[in-house]
Structure formats: structure tokens, C-alpha cells
Amino acid sequence: MSAPALLRVGPCDAVFVSAHEGEASLSCAARLDAERRRGRCTMVVALFRGPGEEAEPGAVSMGLADAASRLPGHAALPVAVFGGEAAQDECLLESRAILGEVFRRTQARQIYLPLGVGGHVDHRIAHEAGVEALPTQSGLDVFFYEERPDALVPGAVRMRLGQMGVRLPPGALKVTREGGLARLLLCSQRVPHRREPCRGLSERLTLTRLLAREWWSTRVWQPQRAFGLRLQPMVQEAPSLEAVRESARVFHARRGAAPRTLRRLLAWSGDYARLLGGRDWVERYWLMLPLREDAGRAA
């Protein structure tokens, strides 16, 4: 466990768990800005860091080795399914212990966890570890945030919810119509600021095959009859466009990408905001609802 980093963890109102440095600050830029404007104390906790990558200013970095460093022969391609290799299992246990201690020390009433969109193994570990480490206290609000830029791909969020087998209220069913297979495959090849971009035709074909397989596997998902987590969507519009654009610029600088990549990220964010009924920058969060009994079976 990263003891020196945990010494920096203290009481706060809300904890944002980030798989990698800077990802939660980009994905939750509007919510973080809104919380700070209300005078609430927030904390961003980043689990993984790549070789030579600097810690995110203002965040608590645990400095765990990312997948490229942790798994021998790890492909640059995002991992499509959370696997069960021993190295991943060990990392999951360590991440769960760290987040359990973070939640205990902060006593936060709001916890934000990555949804796991995009399939990267580090995101799935952060998601799984966060869920398993959640406190049992009452009055706790748990939100899953959609990781950018992967969540901006039409159909990516719908596919992830289907993989999780979540149960949705009737008002949230429009997420099932946000993108079909063709748009998912096309746009996934052009994601701006992807952490591990495809290298060469072979990896692109592999990604296409994996995505198509995952998409087809979720076709049987029935969001009103599923027995997974019960989630309720909520949206957050940006209080200040300049604040969220600055978060995007910082994220862009950390990745060292070309200027056109930042413009494409902002353009995709605008398209996504309009899909959610807003403009320029809108974030969607999935609030975890209490379990309930349905027809004699525990959901």
C-alpha cells in the first residue's frame, strides 16, 4: 500500500477516483468546478501512473504501475474484457485496499468512481476495486462517471452498461439508442487523446473485432429486467466553459498531443453535450440506487 500518499488523505466532502493521472479531472471537470463553487472540499485520487509520467498537481497520486508496466507483453490496444490474470488479481486486491483506506480516512459522503468505458484494464480495476471497497454507512451517494474521451464514442456507454447488466428506470432507456455498431466501430478508431492508440493495421483490426464481439454480447441486455446494479442518470452542465476548457488544455498538455487533437476533443464534447440535451459541455453521472426486492428475487 502507498503509505506516504495515504498520509495526505484527510476528511473531505467528495472523493473522485481516477484510474490514471488527469482522467477524473477531465471527465468530471464541470462537477469539480461546481463543487468548489459551492465551497465543498473535494479530493481526486489517482491510482496508476505510467513510466516517467508526472503526478497530477492537486491530486493524491498512489503511483501504482499502470498496465503497460505491470503486465509483461501488454499490448498497446485497450483491453476489451476485465481478465483474471494473476498480475491483475494482485493489482485489484492492492487497489481495493488503498481505496478502502481512502474512503475510511476521508469519510466522504459522495464517492465518484469510473464507469469503465473503453475497456482498458486499469479502468476496470479502478471500477471493481472502488465498488468492492465502498463503505456500508447510510447516506452515502455513489456516482459512476463516464470517462472521457472514450465515453464520447457513440454507443460506448450503452455497451458498458450492458456489460455490467445494470437496471435502469424507464426515463433512462434512451441510452440504448445512442449509437449502433457501425458508428461505434468507426468513431472508436478516431478517439482524441486515447491513452494507448492503435499502432498499425493489425491492432486496428484486432480492436474492431473485440469491439464487435463485445457489442454483440450486450444485445441481450434488457435494462428494465436486469438484475445488476440499479443506476439513475444525472447530468451536470458546466458552470464555466473556461474552467472545463482549461481542464481539457491541461489534459492535452499532459498527453503531448497535436493542437488539432484538443480541438477535436472539444468538438466531440460539444456533440455529446447536444446528445444529452445541453450545449458545449455536459457530463452524465450514474447514481447507484439501493438494492430492492423484485418479484421475490434480490436485484
Spatial neighbors of 173 by CB under 8 A, at least 6 apart, are 223, 224
Whether the Cβ atoms of residue 32 and residue 10 lie closer than 8 Å to each other: no
Give the burial class of 228: count Cβ atoms within 10 A of its Cβ; 0-12 exposed, 13-18 middle, 19 or more buried: middle
pLDDT digits (tens, 9 = 90+) for 250-287: 999 988 888 899 999 999 999 999 999 999 999 999 99
Q: Exposure of 176 by Cβ count < 10 A (0-12 exposed, 13-18 middle, 19+ buried)?
A: middle
* Sequence spans of domains, the chain: 3-290
Mean pLDDT of the chain: 88
Residue 46 in 3-state DSSP? Answer: strand
Q: Are 29 and 282 in contact (CB under 8 A)?
A: no
The pLDDT of residue 296:
36
Q: Report how far residue 274's alpha carbon sits from residue 278's, in angstroms, rounded to the nearest whole number.
A: 5
pLDDT tens string 110-165: 999 999 998 888 999 999 999 999 998 888 999 999 999 999 999 999 999 999 99
How distant is the alpha carbon of residue 32 from its chain centre? 15
Quick count: other Cβ atoms within 10 Å of Cβ 46?
Answer: 26
Which triple of cell numbers denotes residue 158? 450503452
Interatomic CA distance for residues 268 and 18, integer angstroms: 21
pLDDT in tens, 42-76: 999 999 998 888 889 899 999 998 887 776 655 54
Instruction: Give 90's pLDDT tier (boundaries 50, 70, 90).
Output: confident
pLDDT at 2 over 90: no
pTM: 0.92
How high is the pLDDT of residue 130?
Answer: 97
For residue range 160-180, what is the model confidence (pLDDT) as tens digits?
A: 999 999 999 999 999 999 988
The predicted pLDDT at position 263 comes to: 94
Q: Which residue has the cell 454483440?
A: 216
- With pLDDT > 90 as the criterion, what percentage of the chain qualifies? 65
Spatial separation of the C-alpha atoms in residues 262 and 269, rounded to whole Å: 11
**pLDDT on residue 78:** 43
The b-or-e profile of 241-250 (16+ CB within 10 A means b, else e) is eebbbebbeb
Instruction: Report pLDDT digits (tens) over 178-227.
Output: 988 999 988 888 888 876 666 677 777 877 888 898 899 999 999 999 99
Residue 185's SS3 state is helix
Instruction: Return the C-alpha cell found at 16.
Output: 473522485
Domain 3-290 carries which CATH code? Answer: 3.40.50.10320
pLDDT band at 299 (very low <50, low <70, confident <90, very high): very low
